[in-house]
Each structure stands twice: as structure tokens, then as C-alpha cells.
Structure 1
Amino acid sequence: MTRTTPHDPAAPRLAALAALLADETRASFCLALLDGRAWTAGELARGAGVAASTASEHLGKLVAGGLLVEERRGRHRYVRLADGRTAQLVEELAAHAGPGTRTPPRTLRETGLRHALARGRTCYDHLAGRLGTGITEAMTGRGLLRQDTGFALTDDGLAWFAALGVPLDTASRRRPLARDCLDWTERRPHLAGSAGAALCRHVLDAGWCERVGTGRAVRATPAGLIALRRHLGIEPAALDADWQFGGHRSVTGLPSWS
């Protein structure tokens, strides 16, 4: 008698989720929405280079699949990632996929965008890119953050946030205070969790960083460079060096995601 492996009821759901992200247009929408903001179908269509009707069809599938949620403001329809867990899934899948084929940028604008995303960006509600990993490593080096047994703020780290005037939700059971998120350009972890979100809000509200254009790229301001050196010992040159992967420095070596 032949014994068969029992069917796992999670298999169809996993296959359906994988199918949602198997389309390049839908994947590009999810990556664009990692900036944590809500976008219209027209804005996403222009960014992906597809027709509005095509974008609407793909967005409908992502909403029905639970990866995106829809918001209506007056006559306008906006979409955003469903929650932080969805953002973590998209970012970690992008990191797992790796840089792939190094497609040269087609325009100077695309070259600048790739450089800007590698230098610094938001990953849903926390900082990523060289800026995010640089801050994370500086916090670890100064004893504010531990990475040896998982990500955790130390007592000095909690005091550092308090000295900056950044409130932390230390009692929440819905979201960890600190967790690691693998950065898909730097291939190193950056700080996520409620502490990462609070720090991201602070650097933007305090003018330490500013958004670049309408996407999720961010850069340190002159005041921010001074603040990062003062509070974390980060030198400006460490944030402006060319992106590197696998020992090769290159701006054009970035994945062709935006």
C-alpha cells in the first residue's frame, strides 16, 4: 500500500501569495510602496511604465490578495502596503533575491535614482540603505544596540533615545521594540521595529534627513550630517561613498528596482 504525504492546507495560500509577487509589475508596485506612503494607481503606473488600465488590474489583485489596502479620499483612490509585516516580507524577499543581472541604467536620471536609493531610503517606516545600516552599526559600536543574541536596545540605548526626546513604545506586544531587517543593497541588517520607526520619524521631523523627489530615497541634510557625527560618530564620507557589492564599487551595479 502506497503512503502519501498529507496535503498541507497552507500550500494553496503560499502558492497564491507567490503568484501575486511573480509578476514584475506587481513586484515593482510593492517595492515602490515600501516608502510607507499611499500612492494613486496613476502614480504607480507612471513609475512602472505601464498603462493606467494595466496598473488598475494588477492593483486589484494585490488588494484582493491582502498585500495592499485601498483608501479613498474624495474622488481619489490610494493604495498602500497592508501593514509592517507585509513590508518586511517584501524587503526580505528582495534581499533574498539578490542583485541579479547588473543591468546598466538607461538614463542619467535612472543612475541618480539607483545611487540615491543605495545611499539612503525608507523601508516602510524605518531607514535603510547605507544610511540605515550605518546608523545601525554605529549604535552597535557604541553599545546602544546588541546584535549578538538578536536585535535588542541596551539600557544605554534606551537612555540615548530618551536624551534625543524620542518616545518609545516599550510596552507594545504587537510589534517588537527592535528587530533586524536585511538590507537588499547593503546585504547587512538595519534597525527596524518600533525603535527603528521612531528614529526614522525623528530624523525626518528634526530635519536631519530629507526626501529625494517623490520616491522613498532620503539623504542626510547638512544639519543631519553634523547631528549624526555628534550623536553617533558617523563621518559624512561614510554615507557618500560609492555603493559596493561583492567587493566591486559601482553605482550602476544596483538592481533595477525603484
Structure 2
Amino acid sequence: MSTDAADLASLATLLADETRAAMCLALLDGRAWTAGELAAHAGVARSTATEHLDRLVGGGLLAEERQGRHRYLRLADASVAHLIEDLSARLEPARTPVRGLRQATVSAAMKRARTCYDHLAGELGVAVADALTARGLLDQRGGFALTGAGVDWLTAEAGIDPAALRQQRRPLARGCLDWTERRPHLAGVAGARLCERFLEQRWVVRIGSSRAVKVTPAGRAGLRELLGID
């Protein structure tokens, strides 16, 4: 077996466990979680969670930071988030019926709008990408690329600092296949900065501790004026 094949198999093994997969999916909200929070989310004991987290950190999928008694975990970088989201998008839609009002409400909220690591996803994320494309600001033909007008729009209309767009280790625009809409939304530096801007302006706000976000009244008015999104 080649070294590359062995490394790929090792990476796949990290996500082949349901507990580790649940932890990685939770961290797609882009925030750092404590080991205790991830243990509770996955429904396992702290000692069990520690074993799984050590494997994920050792495999390069998670990064850790210690502050006092607390151990904080996050996805190692944006490429890990894209890997997990891309894998999720290739799953068959769940055929198990939703049980209970709470589960139905959470599922609907995630479908409408959520964060995918540091950018917007769901119906809202796809709507933003479509609106940018319709205005000639984003070119989706043969890949995702901001046009010259799109770069100007981000700084002049969306109010994003030009310096914040200059990150050479990450593409300015990237298509990320949305796992609920089965269509791409905008990732990359541009997607991250837009999401950050919308959160700062409180056009979108987080719903509890989940990845789901909701558009505020100010956001509805702002998105309609900025991009024509109703």
C-alpha cells in the first residue's frame, strides 16, 4: 500500500466514528468549544471525549488551546470545515421522520440559514450567492470567482475593509456545496467577511448555541436594499 493511500485511510478512520463525527459537525459553527461542552453534545463521558479529541487533534482535524483549567477545541482551519461540509453534502437526505416539534423547528431553522464554519449557508447562503451572480459580481461559470465589480462592491457597498480581503493563503471566493440545498454557497475570504459583516450589523443573529441564524427585521431591509433578497 502506498504512503498516500495509508494516510488517506487514516484520515477517513478519524471520521468513521459517530462520536468524533458529531464533535466535528458541532464545530462547524466556527467557534471554539470546551472539551466538556463537546462531551455533553456527543453524549459521552469526559474521559471518553478526551480520547476522541486527542485523536482528532493528533490527526490534524482539530486545534486546541488551553486557558486555565479549560481546554478549547476548534476545527484546525477552513479546509477542514470544507471537507466536512462537502462530505455532508454527499449524504442521502434523511428518510427518518422528524420526531417532535423541537426537532422540526431546529431542522427548519438550519435549512433556512446557518453558519458553515465562518460563512453563511442554507437558503440564505445560496440566496446571497445567487444575488451576487445575478448582478455580475460573482462568476459561477466553471468555478467561483469574484469579478472586478464584485471586489469593488464588497468594499464600497458592503463596507468591508480592503485589507481584510487580502489573505493569500486562502482563496478570495470559493464555492461550497450546501448539504441542504444541494447547490453552492459562497465561502472563502469573501464569504467569511460578508458573514462577519452581517453579524456585526446584526442583520443576522445566532439562535441559541446552534449553528442556525435568523435574519432580523433590520437584516431583511438591509438585504433587500443591498442585494434585492426578499
TM over 0.5, shorter chain: yes
Distance (Å, rounded) in 2 between the aligned partners of 1:59 and 1:114 = 26
Aligned ranges 1:2-151 → 2 under 5 Å? 7-99=1-93, 101-151=94-144
For 1:56, give the aligned amino acid.
T
Summarize the Cα distance change of 1:108–1:42 in structure 2 as closer, same or farther, 3 Å threshold. farther
Deviations 1:195-215 (A, max 9, x none): 001001000001110000012
Aligned partner of 1:198 in structure 2 is 193
Distance (Å, rounded) in 2 between the aligned partners of 1:219 and 1:98 = 26
The alignment status of 1:207 with 2:202, answered yes or no, reads yes
- Structure 2: runs of 5+ lacking an equivalent: none
Shift of 1:154: 1.3
**Higher RCO (CA 8 Å, separation ≥ 6 residues):** 1
Deviations 1:84-111 (A, max 9, x none): 1111111111112232x32223332222
For 1:108, give the aligned amino acid.
L
Contact 1:98 1:184 in 2 (8 A): no
Aligned partner of 2:176 in structure 1 is 181
**Percent identity for Structure 1 against Structure 2:** 61
Shift of 1:172: 3.2
Shift of 1:50: 2.4
Deviations 1:211-236 (A, max 9, x none): 0001211111110011111111111x
Summarize the Cα distance change of 1:108–1:46 in structure 2 as closer, same or farther, 3 Å threshold. farther
Shift of 1:170: 4.8
Deviations 1:102-147 (A, max 9, x none): 2223332222111111111111111111110111111111111110
The answer to which of 71-80 and 39-48 deviates more is 39-48
- Structure 1: runs of 5+ lacking an equivalent: 1-6, 236-258
Summarize the Cα distance change of 1:206–1:82 in structure 2 as closer, same or farther, 3 Å threshold. same
Aligned ranges 1:149-160 → 2 under 5 Å? 149-160=142-153
Shift of 1:74: 1.4
Distance (Å, rounded) in 2 between the aligned partners of 1:165 and 1:143 = 18
Q: Over aligned residues, Cα RMSD in angstroms?
A: 1.3
Number of residue equivalences: 228
3-state DSSP class of the match of 1:97? Answer: coil
The answer to which of 201-210 and 113-122 deviates more is 113-122
Aligned partner of 1:247 in structure 2 is none
For 1:229, give the aligned amino acid.
R
3-state DSSP class of the match of 2:64? Answer: strand
Summarize the Cα distance change of 1:110–1:47 in structure 2 as closer, same or farther, 3 Å threshold. farther
Summarize the Cα distance change of 1:183–1:83 in structure 2 as closer, same or farther, 3 Å threshold. same
Shift of 1:171: 4.2
Distance (Å, rounded) in 1 between the aligned partners of 2:88 and 2:211 = 16
Shift of 1:60: 1.5
For 2:122, give the aligned amino acid.
G
